[in-house]
């Protein structure tokens, strides 16, 4: 799954640990989200959207891409 989470985090000059703390999660979970190994739950996606001011569909476009 592709996503822009790492890109948004680095644009704010944040470490994974700093962003994880802001989102009330841990850096291992955040790393898995950034690598596309795991997908955040809807409530977590909403927190990320609110934090960055970017629609979750834009951040996690791979999770919202459906092919027939």
Tokens 């569909």 belong to 57
- Whether the predicted pLDDT of 14 surpasses 50: yes
Q: Closest Cα partner for 32 from 12, 64, 60?
A: 60
Task: Count CB-CB contacts under 10 A for residue 19.
Answer: 23
- Whether the predicted pLDDT of 68 surpasses 60: no
Give the phi and the psi of residue 54 in degrees, each rounded to 5.
-125, 135
Tokens 């989102």 belong to 23
CB 56 within 8 A of CB 49: yes
pLDDT, the chain, mean = 89
């Amino acid at each position: 799954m592709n996503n822009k989470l790492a890109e948004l985090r680095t644009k704010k000059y944040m470490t994974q640990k700093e962003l994880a703390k802001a989102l009330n999660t841990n850096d291992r979970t955040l790393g898995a989200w950034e690598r596309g190994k795991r997908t955040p739950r809807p409530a977590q996606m909403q927190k990320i959207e609110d934090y960055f001011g970017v629609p979750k569909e834009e951040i996690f476009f791979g999770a919202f891409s459906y092919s027939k």
